[in-house]
Chains A and B, each alone.
Chain A
Amino acid sequence: MVVIIDYQMGNKQSVSNAFASLGCAVVTSHQPEDIKQATHLVLPGVGAFGDGMKNLTQLGLIPILAEEVLGKKKPFLGVCLGMQLLATKGTEYGQHQGLNWIPGVVDLIPSQAELRIPHVGWNNVAIKRKHPLVNDLGEEATFYFVHSYHFQPESPEDIVATCKYGIEFAAILQKDNIFATQFHPEKSHKDGMLILKNFLHA
């Protein structure tokens, strides 16, 4: 059973629909008993870093998730804001502590002439290292991004794929059983569905 963490940050319905279309049981919940029964955990989310951490804290989710993900090593996927919250700290509207599951900092995409922020739309990724999460992904794979901030991990080894928008930034991260995508696989048609399928088998 895939559990989509419901922490009142954005469009969880799409993520749930996408997993349901792959034929797996999906529950959207913030109840500890559901999270404990999950085989896979997904942290979706769009919105600001500070709000995301505040909601996770207020719902009492941080210790439960830490136990399941860091303790029991359940496969975990962070999507978009759900990826950024894994960092040590975020700098959106002030400094905020993150979960620190993948050490790093979340910063604004540096602005350049002709570069519209947020980065919205379909973009390619460059695979930096082989990993089951990107199995069978074609050269021309494109994903839907929508974000103004990007994740800079402390160890470059945590990066599976990067994307270019002015700068080159982390598009897919992986550390142990923790996976994360800056793009929205649930909105990225067949390439995105492939990532979700690979996550289920990872």
Chain B
Amino acid sequence: MLKIRLIPILLLKNGLIVRSESFKFHQIIGDPITQLSRYNRWSVDELIYIDISSDDHYDVRREDAKIETSEKRSLLDIIEVVSKSCFVPLTFGGRIRTLNDIRSRVARGADKVTLNYQAIMDPGFITQAAKVFGNQCIVVSIDVLKNVHGQYEVFTSGRQKATGLDPVQWAKEVARLGAGEILLNSIDRDGTAAGFDSDLIRSVVTATSIPVIACGGAGKFKDFVTIVQEAKPSAVAAANLFHFTELSYRHAKKEMLKGGLNVRS
């Protein structure tokens, strides 16, 4: 039987892994290369890396971060190193604007890419990308925030740009345009550890027939069980939860098994 996937998401900012809160605050917590052996040991189902560096980047390096950074490396270098040692599906997202951006990532070992900003600016790009690389390669990430009217709205560029799009309508549209999966993230819940946004996730899962990866808000392992039971996403993802405790991934899987979920152990 098809397993529910549990996916760590790694946010990269200027070559380092950072922790995010509400898409606003980023704290450096690790080096993407030195953390690799850990993911291998955990036998993770899949890994998603999102590069959130911006052109007008500010230096977020804090003196108390105590991170030993190796030499400066580009995202493409990171993809190459990761794909040589992690034999699970690897998704890379962030700053993808052109087919060549996808090509360069795939050539270095990415299996999938996530599109966000570019998909919103030019929805036809989803179709173009799916035609060249196959639907399975194109994950559209949808970041959702409750707007001032209390309605769900798709935001992009971190949380800076309101798009006017309704998440359910947009999800149906990206599926129609050729997306292979949807990575659905609640900005409100990001980094809050308050649990997943069940209403949001259920509405998108129900409206679409492609796999939906639920993200945003996982604070305790039980949250994964609850969201799968309540909203039936194909996969659950989290970032912060996996950073601070060494055995967190395994503990999360155990909790999911205990909760009766069909996961890969």
| Chain A residues within CB distance 8 Å of chain B | 10-11, 13-14, 17-18, 20-21, 46-48, 116-124, 140, 142, 144, 146-148, 164-165, 184, 186-190, 192-193
Contacts of B235 in A (CB 8 A): 121
Determine whether the beta carbon of B2 is less than 8 Å from that of A119: yes
Q: Are the CB atoms of B111 and A187 closer together than 8 Å?
A: yes
B3 in contact with A11 (CB, 8 Å): no
Contact flag A124-B134 (CB < 8 Å), given A140-B265, A187-B111, A189-B43:
no
Measured in the bound complex, the distance between the Cα atoms of B92 and A11 in whole Å is 13
| Known A14-B90, A189-B43; further 9 A-B contacts with Cβ < 8 A | A14-B83, A14-B109, A20-B84, A46-B133, A46-B134, A117-B210, A122-B45, A122-B264, A142-B264
Which residue in A13, A123, A187, A190 is a CB contact (below 8 Å) of B89? A187
What 9 pairs across the A-B complex have the smallest Cβ distances?
A: A122-B3, A13-B109, A146-B136, A47-B134, A122-B264, A142-B264, A46-B134, A120-B211, A123-B2
| B residues adjacent to A (C-beta < 8 A) | 1-3, 5, 43, 45-46, 83-85, 87-90, 106-111, 133-137, 180-181, 209-211, 234-235, 264-265
Chain A interface mostly: mixed
Among B43, B85, B106, B180, point to the contact of A11 (Cβ < 8 A).
B106
A45 to B91, CA, bound (A): 17
Docked pose: A20 CA to B87 CA in angstroms: 12
Q: Collect the chain A residues with CB atoms within 8 Å of residue B107's CB.
A: 13
**Is A14 in contact with B111, judged by CB distance below 8 angstroms?**
yes
Q: Which of A116, A124, A146, A193 has a CB less than 8 Å from the CB of B1?
A: A124
- Cα distance, A123 to B263, chains bound together (Å): 9
Asked if B89 and A10 make an inter-chain contact with CB atoms under 8 angstroms apart, the answer reads no
B109 touches A116 (CB 8 A): no
Please, which residues of chain B bring their CB within 8 A of the CB of A11?
106, 109-111, 137
Known contacts A116-B211, A120-B181, A121-B235; A186 and B87 CB within 8 A of each other: yes
CB distance from B238 to the nearest CB of A (A): 17
Q: Quick one: which of A11, A18, A47, A186 has the most chain B CB within 10 A? A: A11
Chain B residues whose C-beta falls within 8 Å of the C-beta of A122 in the assembled complex: 2-3, 5, 45, 264
A14 to B82, CA, bound (A): 10
A116 touches B264 (CB 8 A): no
Rounded to whole Å, the gap between the CB of B88 and the closest CB of chain A is 6
Residue of B nearest to A13 (CB): B109
| B83 & A17 in contact (Cβ 8 Å cutoff) | yes
With A48-B134, A118-B135, A121-B234 already in contact, the answer to whether A193 and B2 are too (CB < 8 A) is no
Tell me if B3 and A10 are in contact (CB < 8 A).
no
User: Whose C-beta in chain A lies nearest to the C-beta of B44?
Assistant: A189
Q: Which residues of B contact A116 (CB under 8 A)?
A: 209-211, 234
Task: List residues of chain A with CB within 8 A of the CB of B3.
Answer: 121-123, 142
